[in-house]
Chain A
Amino acid sequence: MSVQHGSILTSQTQAGPFAGLATRLFGGNLRRADWIAFALLAPTLIFFSIGVLYPLFETIRVSFLDWTGLSQPKPAGFSNYIKLFNDANFWNALRVTLTWTLACTGISVFIGWSVALISGLAPKQTAPFRVAIFAAYGISETASGLMWLGILQPDFGLLNGVLRIVGLEGWASPWLGEPSTAIWGVVAAYVWTQAGLPLLTCYAAIQAIPKSQIEAAHMDGATHFQILRYIMAPLSLPGVRIAIFINLLNSLKAFDMIHILTAGGPIRSTETVGYFMYQESVVYFKQGYGAASTVVLLLAVIVCSIPLILDKASESK
């Protein structure tokens, strides 16, 4: 019996649940089950088309126009893309995006993973900290941004105030006013909001490790550090991988925090491609040019997503 079930399952997985659907669809020979499947999928497909596909194709179309939103749009061919790649401000935005994305992803995943590993050793004792860190992930970026604005203010900010109290007045700085430090000020604020997700995914991966493995290691005389180093760390890597991809995509799309803290300044030192896109499309209303930068950002997001999609596809096989 079990062998028979297994064979049915195998044959369905290999051929796919919609095996022959394309042939039936184009041959005008749809079955009743096919119609039901389409009917069930229809709401999703309709909303996906309205909410994702239409704006996507419209953005691509607009990227080939010269349009301020007021005047009549004029065809622009590839000129927006050519201009984009010759625009020093866009290259600056790409450089800032690279720094921003790597820093935000690397630091937030590192913090989340580290806390998850420590929490794996002492789940009960660390529960309040996990809740506190994850709670920050649930706070809106705007609210967090305003809070961090207060922390990083040059005159009456909390950070400079603490530095002055502990005798490190020389270290006090207008963090968000100096191009060299502004990006790190915004990264710190963003990491604070984002570290909760890696903590969650990594901790879930650690929880999935069979307890018998950890008990066996204990019985073999392994120290806490050895358990952490040789069992928990490698076995929690699937959670780390998911956290990296999600944080990477979130960082690429980040806007609110940058807008609140620096508005891309000073002197464009925190202007990511996402913010550049906003400036061009919404502030300068160069719709075509802004759309071209949106398409480039979209391509970057897709490229970053491919490994995760491939990874998920191989897992499902």
Chain B
Amino acid sequence: MGACYENIEFGICARNCRYDICGGTAFAADKELVIFNWLGGSERDLIIALEEGFTAKYPDYEIKDINPAAGGDDPRSGIRSAMLSGEQFDLLLNTWPSFEKELVDADLIRPIDAAWEQYGWSSALNDSWRNLATYHGKTYGAYFIAGNRSGVWYRPDTLAKAGIAGEPTQWKDFLSSFSALKEIGMLPVSIGARSWAQTEWFENALLRTAGPAFAKELSEHKVAWTDDRVKETFRNLRDMLEADCCAEPGAMLSSHWTDAADAVLKNKKAGFMLIGSWANQRAKNEYSLTPVKDYSFMQFPVIKPEYGNAMSVDGKNFLVMKQAKNPEGAELFIDFVLSKEGAAIIAEQNLATPSAHVDPSSYDPIVRKYAQILPLVDVFFVLDDLLPAELSGEFRVGLQKFLRDPSDANIDAVTAALEAKASELYQ
């Protein structure tokens, strides 16, 4: 049976070709699909629900879900450790394009172009999503969850109390809203900069200051981190700091995004926070809030009108491993995830899918709001996930330094340090 698999050129088979070639149910014992699922919390629940949906539709399949016990703050270390220790799996869940590129370069994942054509996944995912997972002309992953990373979260009752009529969609209005919030004794913006959440502010300010094309060039180090557009982004953020937006630097540097969420959405101590769409789950599940009525989000305010349409997104895709014992099953699972049934399961779990097969009316109001924006904007994958891990580390520390000292001299020092690290890594 193993030889039979080896003779099947991956990706060219039709859905059930192995039955045709190797013979019906003789393969029943091989219908195990191993998925490396490092997610936790509600996102993990979603993957489990998808696995259950898949096995309900294809009862011959059995799914083994591997969940790494450890991985620290960055699950990539858990994935690498599992690979190093010889863990065998068919599908890997991924969210970092930079890591995906590493896997491609190390020849550890398979291209899925043939399956893409075979199953007609272009009817589910448009080219921009396919391009996100394309390296050296080959497609390696299929995105099935999309998240908004440009959402500034707030409570409508807080804005109403401060007398702020409507969402401040322009940067100038956003900065001027701070005084109203301070007047009612609130911190205008809560930033949890202990680890990585400060990068969200820079990335969105960069998109609004220099646009997605520049951000892409920066992520590929085709432009220098010392470019004036990077410095202009820092200066725009400095305007926010000088408008007395935030707590003292030490308080920012000792708190996480969860503290910011608590302050804005739960304790009503701050006006705005910027974080990914998982804040929706936190607000609903942990604070028991009602979407839209108790909390909502607006897109990051427009700094330059020409870049007002840009949106930072994240996403998760499945990668088929080179070592996969059941690559056909892996493709079939991807097909299910992108299908109408899979999209319905994702929507039921309050997450957005880029699959066109989703019924938008099944989303909750918050997810529907950003899912409706998604097809209309210039999407750019979250910069921190595009950078090599080491540069990402320097990026996070650089932003901490900036929050402590936003002077021109320090902006020069921070951008120079980032450029030095990038030059070393992109050689």
Residues of chain A touching chain B, judged by Cβ–Cβ distance below 8 Å, are 68-72, 153-155, 173-178, 181-182, 263, 265-268, 279, 282-286
Contact = CB atoms under 8 A, between A and B. Distances in A.
A176 B401 CA distance: 15
A70 B77 contact: no
B87 interface: no
B254 A174 contact: yes
B250 interface: yes
A177 B76 contact: no
Interface string B68-98: 0000111011001001100000000000000
A153 B76 CA distance: 29
18 contacts: A68-B102, A69-B80, A72-B106, A153-B254, A174-B248, A174-B254, A176-B254, A177-B250, A263-B73, A263-B195, A265-B253, A265-B397, A267-B253, A268-B397, A282-B77, A283-B77, A285-B77, A285-B80
8 smallest CB-CB distances across A and B, nearest first, come from A177-B254, A174-B250, A177-B250, A177-B253, A266-B253, A70-B106, A178-B250, A176-B254
A284 B72 CA distance: 12
B194 A266 contact: yes
B254 A266 contact: yes
Given A177-B251, A267-B400, A282 B72 contact: yes
Contacts of A155: 251
Contacts of B289: none
Interface in B136-195: 194-195
A267 B393 contact: no
A232 B103 CA distance: 64
A266 B248 CA distance: 14
A173 B389 contact: no
A32 to B, nearest CB: 43
Nearest to B108: A70
B390 interface: yes
Instruction: Report the interface size class on chain B.
Output: 20 to 34
B404 interface: yes
B251 A283 contact: no
B390 A286 contact: yes
Contacts of B393: 279, 283-284
B11 interface: no
Interface in B204-250: 247-250
A182 B400 CA distance: 14
A234 to B, nearest CB: 44
Mostly, the A contact residues are: loop
B284 to A, nearest CB: 24
B359 interface: no
B397 A154 contact: no
Contacts of B253: 174, 177-178, 265-267
A268 to B, nearest CB: 6
Contacts of A153: 254
Contacts of A173: 250
Nearest to A285: B80
B347 interface: no
B404 A267 contact: yes
A154 B77 CA distance: 30
B400 A265 contact: yes
A310 to B, nearest CB: 38
B250 A70 contact: no
B77 A71 contact: no
B306 interface: no
B248 A70 contact: no
Given A177-B250, A263-B195, A285-B77, A70 B397 contact: no
B346 interface: no
Contacts of A177: 194, 249-255
B340 to A, nearest CB: 36
A283 B389 contact: yes
B105 A267 contact: no
A181 B74 CA distance: 26
A279 to B, nearest CB: 7
Given A154-B250, A155-B251, A267-B404, A283 B72 contact: yes
A71 B103 CA distance: 8
Contacts of B249: 177-178
A284 B83 contact: no
Nearest to B80: A69
A177 B259 CA distance: 14
B320 to A, nearest CB: 16
B99 to A, nearest CB: 9
B402 to A, nearest CB: 10
A285 B76 contact: yes
Contacts of B247: 154
Contacts of A279: 393
A154 B192 CA distance: 12
Nearest to A155: B251
A47 B224 CA distance: 52
Contacts of B397: 265, 267-268
B421 to A, nearest CB: 10
Nearest to B252: A177
B414 to A, nearest CB: 11
Nearest to A263: B195
A265 B194 contact: yes
Nearest to B421: A89
A239 to B, nearest CB: 37
B74 A283 contact: yes
A263 to B, nearest CB: 6
